[in-house]
Amino acid sequence: MYSRINYTMVGVFVLLFTLLALGFGFWLAKYGFEEKYDYYYLYFTEPVDGLTLDSSVKLKGVDVGKVSSIEVDPDNVERIRVEIRLKEGTPIVEGMYALLKLQGITGLSYVQIEGGKRGAPRLTAAEGKIPVIPTRESLIHQLSKDAPALLDRLQSAANALDRIFSEHNQRQFTRILDNTAEATAKATEVEDRFIALSDEFNRTLQHFDRQSTELVDSVQRITRTLDEKLPTLMDDVDQAGRNVAQVARGIDRRLKRGEYDLRKMIRPIQIDIRELSYSYQELSEDLKALSRHPSSLIFGSGHPPKGPGE
């Protein structure tokens, strides 16, 4: 015969088991899987539009934490204090800084941590204080601050362009282009004339070169002829001069001895013979000079250099 089952005890046991399971699950969820974080403060003097709780915090592009709180700094209303939590052990060292960056085209922002060098000491704070990571202005904030000045410059540039491309300047520019085209055409015409003149000059030079060559050949032929004929001619002239001089001396001696009664009649002839002798001597000197410098027959003789004291 079977014993009666005590359903009350079973129900109590199931209830206790369920409570124990729930309590264990709550403890495990709270303490068994709780991740530890390092907390830091960031102070921004620029608007933090797009930054929300749980926005990402990245260290040189790597997700290392989240934004845990955003509030106005109670000690300075001109600053925004942002608290971030990073995975425990995240290497935040001195020299690092934080700035805001846009996340795609969503309009949301995230915190980017950059800078720092290898071997730098860890960023710490006084006992019981939260370390503060320095911040820098974001590129968007810098652009927004510089936007008015940039717009003014763009407006000035636009006004300058309007002045440059005014109707008056366009007419002036068109006139300059027309003058440039006309000057280019004239330059081309001058260049063509210069080329033609250069060709003519080259032909003239070639003709002159041929004429010079022929002249040099002629001078050389004359020189050779003079070299061949002058010695004989000079000998004949010298001999004739000597003969005339001898005749003149003989006549002079006879006249002095009184061999001729017609001394007065012969005196003019004597003078003529003496002048003829002098002429032969000059001719002999000229022929000697011509023998030394045959080219002087064509080009003439230069003035002889002056001696000392002349």
Reduced to 3 states (helix: H, G, I; strand: E, B; else coil), residue 110 is: strand
The domain locations on the chain are 37-138, 203-299
With CA atoms as reference, report the closest residue to 92 among 67, 121, 72, 70: 121
pLDDT at 81 over 80: yes
Cα torsion 184, 188, 190, 195: sign: positive
The answer to whether the pTM exceeds 0.75 is no
DSSP class of residue 107 equals S
Encode pLDDT of 23-51 as tens digits.
877 766 665 555 789 999 999 999 998 89
Encode pLDDT of 146-172 as tens digits.
667 767 777 777 777 777 777 777 777
Phi and psi angles of residue 125, each rounded to the nearest 5 degrees, phi first = -140, 170
